[in-house]
Structure 1
Amino acid sequence: MSLDDLKYVKVKTHPTARNQAVSTQPLLAGSIVLSNQAFATVLFENQKGRRCDHCLVLSETLRKCSGCASCCYCDANCQTRHWPSHKKLCKRWNSFASSNEFQALPPHERLDCVLLSYFASPLSANDQLAIFKSLLPGPTHHSPPPTCTPVDGADGLYDRFGNNNFTIHSHLNSFAHGIFPLASRLFNHSCTPNAAARYKLVRGQAVTMEVVALRDIAEGEEICIPYLDPALLQTRQQIFQLTYGFQCTCISCEGLKSVGPIPDVPQDPARLAALEYRLRTFIGVDDLEHCVLRTKPITQSLPSEIRCFLKEDYIEHLSGVFSQSSHDGPYDRALDSGTTLLAMYLLIYPENYPQIGMHALELAKTAWNASMPMNDIVRRQHAMAQVRACLSVSRRILGLYGPEGDGGGPLAEITTLQQLVDQEG
């Protein structure tokens, strides 16, 4: 697919960026704005041998390449489809991968070695390569890492890696890097995006990125996606400057700027608990049973006493507390920390952002676990009401985002948990 083949977007000039992609017609939330097949992909090292190196599908019966034994495939079809890009690496790969030069590199640079090596294959001579070469290089120049085979113009290609690679995920869990030149060419970044990428895995086919509208998009409105997790509140601008060479001025970043210096999170447990309660009531989620989830962008009107929660390490800590207690208990602590984390997500993320839906599902499962040992009928009814409320939110958001990655996953979990809830009456 080229720029001339686009159906729902067109490229226009942008006042500060190179261009912008705007919608050619009104788009409903959940619409697929763009479908773009990967130009090249590489699995994380811990996924090698678990997923097919061509289609990236999980399989328990992968067959190894007989030439190098480093690539694995679902079947002969996947191996044949991957061979045009793999054949120049195959016989040389093991000696290259065991070299001191390769082994001394950090993991992310080893991934870049593989991606860059694939550019030497005949498969590279197509429209996607032309689009990739048209992308703007990153703001800083680094010498390219070693490659398994010589690559023409390696410097120019590598300069476009860091600011144009995508992290491929299944159910929002990352497992590979990929190059999707058309998506890179089209979409600018926003920390409050109106679209997001999901990944379609089909046995025997290269992975496809689908860009999905998170809300209704008006005709002529710019379509933006997130280049990184908007929860990186304190480091995002530094990453933008170093990796992409721009300063983000979206509503979230301007809101953070208006907030000013972020105070430290109090260490006193009682004071911290009081402020977390203040955060939940400000966002409107303290009563999970009756809350109506609405995102509330960061602005200067954010009460000064809860601005301390904009610290990245606090969000990371809170996520860790919820993750541990939601699995092992105590569930009261899990629900408390999980509801506070939900408030933070509604403050950070835009409408219908998939992380909100995933977290709502985790809260629903936690409330279900909490209800099981309860003998108090009133408390059990309250817990079940929390399950239903969180399930409703999760179903709405993740249903809109749609299925992605491997089979099963959160949509299947929602169906299973709903059946259990229905049996309870």
Structure 2
Amino acid sequence: MAPTLERFVSPGKGNGLRAAGGIRRGQLLHSAEPLASCVSNRLSGRVCHRCFTRPETLSRCSQCKTARYCNTTCQKQAWSGHKRECKCLRSLLPRVPTDSVRLAARIIFTLLSRSEGRSEELYTFEEHESHLNSMSEQKKQGLSQLASMLELYLQEEIPDLAQEMTSALPSSCQTPLDLIAKVTCNCFTISDAELQEIGVGLYPSLSLLNHDCRPNCVMVFEGTKLQLRAVRDINPKEELTISYIETLSLTEDRQRQLDDQYHFTCHCQRCNSQDEYGFMLSGEEATWRLLKEALPKLEEQKAESDWQALLHRCSTLLSTTGCDVPDENLFKLRMTDMALDASIHLGHWEEALSYGQKTLPIYRRYYPDPHPVHGVQLMRVGKLHHYLGHAEAALDTFKQAHEIIKLTHGCDHPLTTDLIMKMEECRAETDRKSSSCH
């Protein structure tokens, strides 16, 4: 752990991390590989289970038929961690356990095989809270079902899981239920360069970071390596915070999600202010309620990759709202974003660019710079400009993206490198165009 961070007790929150000294905006504070990680079931066939990249083709594990790798090197490197899991996966075929069960099993294999005394972590998995005492009976019941699935899944490798955990693991994680509860409260979503979810992982020390709806740090990933960066200047002894959830939502929705998933009530400055409501809920209420009510069905279509139906429904709803609902309305923005995704998947580039450009001023308002979500959105719009031959507009948009991405991802991140290459391509194209005009 870098000396820039130190563990402390945060008033009203419990354990936390704070700055040991002054920190500059854009500074890398910590990078970490996970104690354990796994690719999401939803993307199991499209992401390498070792390096978490998305190559054109993947080779499937011939035994479990579930794990996939981009080449034999990745497959060989993954085998020491996959061999026990492979036997468990084969025993359940054609069923595949949930992401949290697979992650919990990988954590157990890691904890049972590691040597004593190894831990340079500021915070160990054994210290993590399970929050079982503050959960509703309904939630406990759901976790109990996952714990039963974990025992069934591990039957081939660890026939008496409860006995093995009691004898080999610390007292805080000696039952499958304790373990599953800790995993669901403390794991992180692993995302790709464009911030799309690809997996889950457990990073023990970074679970010390407390939540704020306007945090002073962000986390980005390079494969499974998590990088923590400051997004504003931080004073010595100031607490370091991240956002546990997508922040573009109404206060009551954020609060509900934080309480349900992480078992606390957020009292941050943003939650105690009502400033955003006027913008997020602007326009005719009767009209934006139609958009709000349509969103769950549209989310389903997106999850099922039913792009044609999704685009048709979004474009119909957006055209009927007209001037009744301005672009900054939260539900209109979400629908515009879905229309953008669908247009890109269908190759409707002009339409995609039109939707993307509408989102940019709103992203600038709702994601104060430097924010990775705003940077990635600018990059997507820049790529559409570039693809359509608008080299000057693409270069301008890429420059705006670079001002953000170099701070949130750092100069060495593959996304930043890719962005610089795109800018060079655009410069070369505009130079060629201007020289041919003379």
Please, which of 319, 326, 349 is the counterpart of residue 276 of structure 1?
326
Letter in 2 for 1:220: K
Residue type of the alignment partner of 1:183: L
Deviation at 1:371, TM superposition (A): 7.0
**Counterpart Cα distance in 2 of 1:83 and 1:129:** 29
More helix by percentage: 2
1:160 aligns with 2:178: no
Query: Are the counterparts in 2 of residues 86 and 121 from structure 1 also a CA contact under 8 Å?
Result: no
Query: 2:192 corresponds to which residue?
Result: 170
CA distance in 2, matches of 1:75, 1:321: 35
> 1: CA distance between counterparts of 2:86 and 2:76?
13
Judged with a 3 Å threshold, the aligned counterparts in structure 2 of structure 1 residues 264 and 168 are, in CA distance, closer, same or farther, namely same
* Kept after mapping to 2: 8 A contact 1:321/1:334: no
User: Does 1:133 pair with 2:146?
Assistant: no
Match in the other structure for 1:86: 82
**Counterparts of 1:8 and 1:421 in 2: how far apart (Å)?**
43
Q: Which residue matches 1:394?
A: 401
TM-score (norm 2): 0.71
Residues paired across the two proteins, number: 362
1:416 to 414, 425, 428: 425
Gaps of 5+ in 2: 166-174, 289-318
Q: 1:256 aligns with which of 262, 274, 278?
A: 274
User: Matched residues in 2 for 1:273 and 1:121: separation?
Assistant: 57
Q: Is 1:223 aligned to residue 240 of structure 2?
A: yes
Against the structure 1 CA distance between its residues 70 and 408, is the aligned structure 2 distance closer, same or farther, given a 3 Å change threshold?
farther
Q: Post-superposition shift, 1:97?
A: 3.4
Superposed displacement of residue 13, structure 1: 1.7
Task: Specify the code of the residue in structure 2 equivalent to 1:53.
Answer: H
Percent of matched pairs sharing the same residue: 21
Distance in structure 2 (CA, Å) of the matches to 1:198 and 1:62: 25
SS of equivalent residue, structure 1 residue 26: coil
Q: Distance in 2 between matches of 1:417 and 1:261?
A: 35
Counterpart CA distance in 2 for 1:250 and 1:156 is: 29
Cα distance in 2 for partners of 1:365, 1:8 equals: 37
Q: Does 1:17 align with 2:8?
A: no
Q: 2:348 aligns with which of 321, 325, 328?
A: 328
Q: Deviations over 1:44-71 (max 9, x none)?
A: 2343354432332444575554543433
Alignment of 1:12-411 (within 5 A): 12-59=8-55, 64-73=60-69, 78-99=74-95, 110-124=98-112, 125=114, 127=119, 131-138=124-131, 139-140=134-135, 141=140, 142-143=143-144, 144-145=146-147, 146-147=149-150, 148-149=153-154, 150=158, 151=161, 152=165, 153-171=175-193, 172-184=195-207, 186-201=208-223, 207-233=224-250, 235-256=253-274, 259=277, 263=281, 265-266=283-284, 267=287, 273=323, 276=326, 309=329, 311=330, 313-323=331-341, 328=348, 334-335=353-354, 337-367=355-385, 384=392, 386-400=393-407, 401-402=409-410, 404=413, 410-411=419-420
Alignment deviations for residues 320-360 of structure 1 (CA, whole Å, 9 cap, x no partner)? 344456763656x944x544422322332232001111222
Q: Taking structure 1 as reference, are residues 53 and 340 closer, same or farther at Cα in structure 2, changes over 3 Å only?
A: closer
For 1:85 and 1:395, the matched residues in 2 are separated by 37
Q: Which runs of 5+ in 1 are unaligned?
A: 103-108, 202-206, 280-308, 373-382
Distance 2:46 2:385 in 1: 33
Q: Could you tell me how far 1:223 is from its partner in structure 2?
A: 1.4
Q: TM-score, normalised by structure 1?
A: 0.73
1:211 Cα deviation after fit: 0.7
Cα displacement string for residues 74-102 of structure 1 (whole angstroms, at most 9, x for unaligned residues)? 56654454344333332342221325xx5
What root-mean-square deviation, in Å, do the aligned CA atoms of Structure 1 and Structure 2 show? 3.5
In structure 2, distance between residues paired with 1:398 and 1:422: 25
Q: Within 1, Cα distance between the matches of 2:185 and 2:431? A: 47
The structure-2 alpha-carbon separation of the partners of 1:120 and 1:349, relative to structure 1 and needing over 3 Å to count, comes to: same
